[in-house]
Amino acid sequence: MTLKDLKPGDQGKVVSIGEKGPSRRRIMEMGVTPGTVVKVVKVAPLGDPIEVNIRGYELSLRKEEALKIVME
């Protein structure tokens, strides 16, 4: 399951972040690291972006970024 699969109000724990490279590094620099609990706050009408609550702050992620984040 990926972060994209979660609905508003759902939460899960980050297991891994997809491919290596600059996009993975950028996501990790925003605080999305393995073991972190992420709660989906809301999803835009067309599904992009997704707003999540992580480590006490709100973060908006693009659909393609959310697909790279594997959840538990």
CA–CA distance, 11 with 72 (Å, rounded to integer): 9
CATH code where residue 8 lies: 2.30.30.90
pLDDT number for residue 47: 78
Strand partners, 57: 54
d(CA 19, CA 33): 14
Q: What pLDDT digit, counting tens, does each position of 20-34 carry?
A: 888 889 988 988 999
Residue numbers of the domain that contains 43: 3-71
**Cα separation, 38 vs 59, whole angstroms:** 10
Provide the token pair at 7: 């609905």
Average pLDDT over residues 10-15: 93
Q: What is the pLDDT of residues 26-68, one digit of tens each?
A: 988 988 999 999 999 999 988 789 999 999 999 999 998 889 9
Q: How many domains does the chain have?
A: 1
Strand pairing class (69-71; 57-61) = unpaired
pLDDT at 35: 92
